[in-house]
Amino acid sequence: MRVLGIETSCDETGVAIYDTDRGLLADALYSQVAMHAEFGGVVPELASRDHTRRLLPLIQQVLDEAGMARSELDAIAYTAGPGLVGALMVGASTAHGMARALAIPVLGVHHMEGHLMAPMLEDSPPDFPFVALLVSGGHTQLVEVRGQGRYRLLGESVDDAAGEAFDKTAKMLGLAYPGGPQVARLAETGDPKRFRFPRPMTDRPGLDFSFSGLKTHTLTTLKQLERDGQLDEQARADVARAFEEAVVDTLVIKCRRALDDTGLKRLVMAGGVSANARLRERLAHEAEKRSAQVYYPRGRFCTDNGAMIALAGARRLLAGERDAIGQMKAVPRWPMETLEPPA
Distance from C-alpha of 133 to C-alpha of 286, rounded to nearest angstrom: 14
pLDDT value of residue 326: 85
Is residue 8, in this structure, part of any structural domain at all?
yes
Q: Comparing C-alpha atoms, which of 14, 18, 304, 19 is closest to residue 163?
A: 304
Task: Give the single-character DSSP code of 129.
Answer: S
pLDDT the model gives residue 165: 93
88 annotated as a binding-site residue = no
Mean pLDDT of 59-63: 98
Per-residue pLDDT, 281: 95
Number of structural domains in the chain: 2
Is 115 annotated in a binding site? The answer is yes
The pTM (predicted TM-score) of the whole model is 0.93
- Average pLDDT of the chain is 95
- Is residue 122 domain-resident? no
Q: DSSP string of 265-279? A: -EEEEESGGGG-HHH
Quick one: CA dihedral 240, 242, 245, 251, positive or negative?
A: negative
| Domain coverage including residue 87 | 2-117+301-338
User: Is residue 139 domain-shared with residue 106, that is, in the same domain?
Assistant: no
Residue 305, annotated as binding a ligand: no
Measuring CA to CA, which residue among 303, 306, 304, 299 is closest to residue 63?
A: 306
* Residue 14 known to bind ligand: no
12 with 135, same domain: the answer is no
**273 domain residue, yes or no:** yes
Q: Residue 203, annotated ligand binder?
A: no
**88-142 pLDDT, tens per residue?**
999 999 999 999 999 999 999 999 999 999 999 999 999 999 999 999 777 899 9
Residue 334 lies in a domain: yes
Has 135 been labeled as part of a binding site? yes
The two beta strands, 293-295 and 130-135, are unpaired
174 closest CA partner among 185, 183, 163, 184: 183
**Position 183, amino acid:** V
On whether 167 is known to bind a ligand per the annotation, the reply is yes
Task: At 301, give phi and psi (nearest 5°).
Answer: -105, 5
Q: Residue 113: which CATH number?
A: 3.30.420.40
φ, ψ of residue 142 in degrees (nearest 5):
-115, 130
Same domain, 89 and 205: no
User: Contact at 8 Å (CB) between 317 and 19?
Assistant: no
Is 276 known to sit in a ligand binding site?
yes
Rounded to 10 deg, the angle between the 233-262 and 179-187 helix axes is: 110
